[in-house]
């Protein structure tokens, strides 16, 4: 057999084996790999290169080494699932870098992380002041997790006292002009309903690139040139009402966050004046 054909066949078989091995080892992202998994990835790549190109008559022994590494890797993963102590040795432990707005230099020294590198990681997460951080920790993967102090966290429904109903993941029922029966059944709809809704939009199933049903049972479709149906524009009266509600919520939240009684009183007075003015406006309209 010509050498170039042999190398081609060996490369194809090596790629097939590596694909199967990768599927066996799981699909964790590179940034989430432990040190041992990183070592395994490098070693497997070297072994595949040896199997593909080495003209030694014992090239097939590369497969033996490959499967030995896979056995070690899978065995180690199984043992780390069972043992916290072994997991700490193999994967390492998380390291606290900031606590209550105070930078812990011992943590940076342990992870061999300079202050400049740490600040760079903070900026990537849109954090520019260490004093704003309640807690920052370097995970085993090398990523840095950050919890901002409560007063610097973005507003959310819980802070404003809202109770919002849970939102379900939209069901994709059409892809590239084809209805997906399983997803359609999961959405609680049928094909007759789809055709009825698409007729309202002057569309056929074949015109739809992506069709999704949200938690309210409403369909939205992408045709490649438009997103339908178009969102209804709010009336000026509704926009004013929404803006007023936001301002009231903002004043109420600021009043709750201040610690000084005098400042709380000033916010309460401002909120009362605001409510009085809005009531007068609504009475006139």
Residue 178 is part of a domain; what is its CATH number? 3.30.240.20
Burial of 10 per CB tally in 10 Å (0-12, 13-18, 19+): buried
- Examine the pLDDT at 29 and tell me if it is beyond 50: no
Residues 81 and 7 in one domain: yes
Measured distance CA(168)–CA(76) in Å, rounded: 37
Please give the pLDDT value at position 122.
Answer: 94
pLDDT tens for each residue of 156-168: 767 666 666 666 7
- Which of 37, 66, 89 terminates a domain? The answer is 89
Measured distance CA(118)–CA(107) in Å, rounded: 11
Residue 181 forms part of a structural domain? yes
Residues 105 and 176 in one domain: no
Q: How many CB atoms lie within 10 A of CB 83?
A: 12
Task: Determine the 3-state secondary structure of 13 from DSSP.
Answer: helix
Residue 157 forms part of a structural domain? no
Residue 76 forms part of a structural domain? yes
Largest CA distance in the chain: 95
Residue 7 forms part of a structural domain? yes
> Taking the complete model, does pTM exceed 0.75, yes or no?
no
Residues 273 and 248 in one domain: yes
Residues 136 and 196 in one domain: no
pLDDT tens for each residue of 91-137: 778 899 999 999 999 999 998 999 999 999 999 999 999 999 999 99
Residue 166 forms part of a structural domain? no
**Reduced to 3 DSSP states, what percent helix, strand and coil does the chain have, rounded to the nearest 5?**
55, 10, 30
Domain that holds residue 274: 236-284
- Which of 56, 71, 89 terminates a domain? The answer is 89
Residues 61 and 14 in one domain: yes
Residues 82 and 21 in one domain: yes
Average model confidence (pLDDT) for the chain? Answer: 80
The total domain count for the chain is 4
Q: Nearest to residue 208, comparing CAs of 168, 254, 175, 255?
A: 175
Residue 182 forms part of a structural domain? yes
Residues 247 and 224 in one domain: no
């Amino acid at each position: 057999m010509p050498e170039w054909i042999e190398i081609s066949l060996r490369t194809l078989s090596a790629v097939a084996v590596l694909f199967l091995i990768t599927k066996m080892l799981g699909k964790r992202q590179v940034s989430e790999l432990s040190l041992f998994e990183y070592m395994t990835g490098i070693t497997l790549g070297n072994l595949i290169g040896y199997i593909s190109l080495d003209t030694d008559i014992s090239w097939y022994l590369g497969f033996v080494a490959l499967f030995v590494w896979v056995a070690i890797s899978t065995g180690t993963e199984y043992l780390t699932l069972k043992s916290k102590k072994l997991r700490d040795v193999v994967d390492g432990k998380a390291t606290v870098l900031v606590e209550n707005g105070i930078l812990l230099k011992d943590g940076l020294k342990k992870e061999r992380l300079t202050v400049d590198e740490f600040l760079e990681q903070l900026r990537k997460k849109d954090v520019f002041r260490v004093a704003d951080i309640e807690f920052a920790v370097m995970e085993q993967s090398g990523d840095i997790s950050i919890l901002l102090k409560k007063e610097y966290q973005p507003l959310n429904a819980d802070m404003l006292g809202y109770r919002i109903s849970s939102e379900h993941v939209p069901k994709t029922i059409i892809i590239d002009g084809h209805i997906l029966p399983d997803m359609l059944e999961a959405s609680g709809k049928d094909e007759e309903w789809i055709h009825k809704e698409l007729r309202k939009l002057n569309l056929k199933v074949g015109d739809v690139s992506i069709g999704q049903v949200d938690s309210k049972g409403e369909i939205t479709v992408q045709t490649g040139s438009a997103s339908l149906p178009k969102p209804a524009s709010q009336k000026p009266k509704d926009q004013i009402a929404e803006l007023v509600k936001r301002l009231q919520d903002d004043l109420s939240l600021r009043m709750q966050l201040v610690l000084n009684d005098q400042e709380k009183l000033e916010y309460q007075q401002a909120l009362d004046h605001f409510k009085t003015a809005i009531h007068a406006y609504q009475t006139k309209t």
